[in-house]
Amino acid sequence: MGKKYEESLLYALKNRQKMEEYQGVPLLVKNLPDSDEKGAMDPRLYEDSKKNLKIMAWMPSFLMKMDTSEKGIANLRKMFNGVKSVPCVEEKITIENRLVKAEDEYQIPVRIYKKSSGEVDTKAVFYYIHGGGFFGGSPDVVEEAVKMFVAKTGLVAVSVDYRLAPENPYPTGHKDCYRVLQWIGENKELFGEGAYRIFVSGDSAGGNLAQYCTTRDMEDGKHLIKGQLLLYPTLNMAQVQDEYYKPELEQYEMAPKQKRGLKKMLGMFAGMSGGLESVLGTKDVKNNYLNPYTKNPEGTPPTFLTVGEHDFLKMETLGYGVKLHKAGVEIKMVLYKGFGHAYIDNIGVYPQSEDCIDEMANFVREHCEKTLRTGENSLFSFGLK
């Protein structure tokens, strides 16, 4: 099955992008490829979502609260675990399944992705952590995205199937993800020099888990992570407001014809990141691991942040970017107009999803080359395509 969009839309998306500023920080804005309507959803996304938007527009607010009961979690998992991408990566990618022993002897499933043809580039490892609210999602949901990244870069990628809450309370899933990072660093025979040059990435709750890996890596003094790529990440679970973060609907531009449905959608999901204590099994969501938004970000490795214009996590994502920038961290922020949450789950469906992979590949390429130019492991050349 091929992509559901013409390549011309991907080119138009790149040609229409503009560099702007957000609170004094550079922000790459990806305008819609074929529409100038302010605050409008991408036409393809709107066509796929309009039925649900119309239902939400008239649904009472009390029916839209997150249900964390056993039945509610089961229903949400069905929604979060659905594979929305379409198979479109033409290059053959091999997938090897391995098990990594956790602290408590549990065997954590991981997948290793490599290009089947040509020389495999082992000078960096791309480590991806799926999202899903800490209680849902799976490597299957993001597999096409990981395969596309590998096809475009030639790098080796690792994806982890960490244990989910509420059956496995916090910090089980977080520790699983960090253990796999350590395992990559311990296996030069598998990953070459990439074992010491890791780029960690994750979407939504996976972004929180990726930041946790970075924080632990810094605390332990290993510095295996040379960059992190956080996609619409869950960063401020405690909903701490400051000069950079104020969760106000006035900060969202919405086209009049879609405004009612978008407001209901934003309202429904806005409470999700702040209502996960019962799912995670902890009341301490203000700690630096679950709420990295409030920790001192100094020393954080180069960071890539991306979020959609209508994402309920937009303000905390951009606010975090500002805080990183002010702390001297090298960052790149990308905003997709007309999109909300979870676009990396839609590879082959929307051009923005593929464009996001391109931006991620460029970020990894740039920062891996920088580590080589500055003398770190300088005996090795770098051949990303």
- C-alpha dihedral sign at 77, 62, 238, 252: positive
Please, which pLDDT band fits residue 133 given cuts at 50, 70 and 90? very high
Higher pLDDT pick, 118 / 370: 370
- C-alpha dihedral sign at 150, 230, 290, 81: negative
- Structural contact between residues 367 and 21, judged by C-beta atoms closer than 8 angstroms: no
Q: Report pLDDT digits (tens) over 105-123.
A: 999 999 999 999 877 888 9
- C-alpha dihedral sign at 206, 211, 212, 213: positive
33-50 average pLDDT score: 96
175-203 average pLDDT score: 97
Q: Report pLDDT digits (tens) over 12-22.
A: 999 999 999 99
CB atoms within 10 A of CB 46: 17
Here the tokens at position 320 are 């975090």
Q: What is the pLDDT of residue 381?
A: 37
Q: What is the pLDDT of residue 383?
A: 41
Here the tokens at position 37 are 């309507």
CATH number for the domain running over 7-373:
3.40.50.1820
Q: What is the pLDDT of residue 64?
A: 61
Please, which pLDDT band fits residue 156 given cuts at 50, 70 and 90? very high
b/e per residue 345-384 (b: at least 16 CB within 10 A): bbbbbbbbbbbbbebbbebbbebbeebbeeeeeeeeebeb
Mean of pLDDT over the chain:
92
- Structural contact between residues 199 and 227, judged by C-beta atoms closer than 8 angstroms: yes
Q: What is the pLDDT of residue 380?
A: 35
175-181 average pLDDT score: 98
- Structural contact between residues 271 and 66, judged by C-beta atoms closer than 8 angstroms: yes
Q: What is the pLDDT of residue 369?
A: 85
270-281 average pLDDT score: 76
11-34 average pLDDT score: 98
Overall size of the chain counted in residues: 385
Q: What is the pLDDT of residue 62?
A: 57
Angle CA 94–78–3, to nearest 5: 45
User: If DSSP codes are grouped into helix, strand and coil, which group holds residue 268?
Assistant: helix
End-to-end C-alpha distance for the chain, whole angstroms: 25
Please, which pLDDT band fits residue 377 given cuts at 50, 70 and 90? very low
What is the share, in percent, of the chain residues with pLDDT greater than 90? Answer: 81
Q: How many helices (H) and strands (E) does the chain have?
A: 11, 10
Asked whether residue 191 carries a pLDDT value surpassing 90, the answer given is yes
C-alpha span between 190 and 183 (Å, rounded) = 10
C-alpha span between 104 and 240 (Å, rounded) = 33
- Structural contact between residues 122 and 193, judged by C-beta atoms closer than 8 angstroms: yes
Asked whether residue 172 carries a pLDDT value surpassing 90, the answer given is yes
276-290 average pLDDT score: 93
Q: Report pLDDT digits (tens) over 195-214.
A: 999 999 999 999 999 999 99
C-alpha span between 98 and 104 (Å, rounded) = 17
Tell me the DSSP string of 133-170.
TTTS--HHHHHHHHHHHHHHH-EEEEEE-PPPTTTS-T
Please, which pLDDT band fits residue 342 given cuts at 50, 70 and 90? very high
- C-alpha dihedral sign at 154, 155, 158, 159: negative
Angle CA 280–267–29, to nearest 5: 95
128-155 average pLDDT score: 97
36, burial (CB in 10 Å: exposed 0-12, middle 13-18, buried 19+): exposed
C-alpha span between 325 and 25 (Å, rounded) = 7
Domain ranges of the chain: 7-373
- Structural contact between residues 222 and 214, judged by C-beta atoms closer than 8 angstroms: no
Q: What is the pLDDT of residue 121?
A: 87
Cα 14 to Cα 5, 31, 33, 198, 364, distances in angstroms:
15, 9, 8, 27, 18
Instruction: State the SS3 of 307-322.
Output: EECCCCCHHHHHHHHH
C-alpha span between 61 and 342 (Å, rounded) = 23
Higher pLDDT pick, 51 / 379: 51
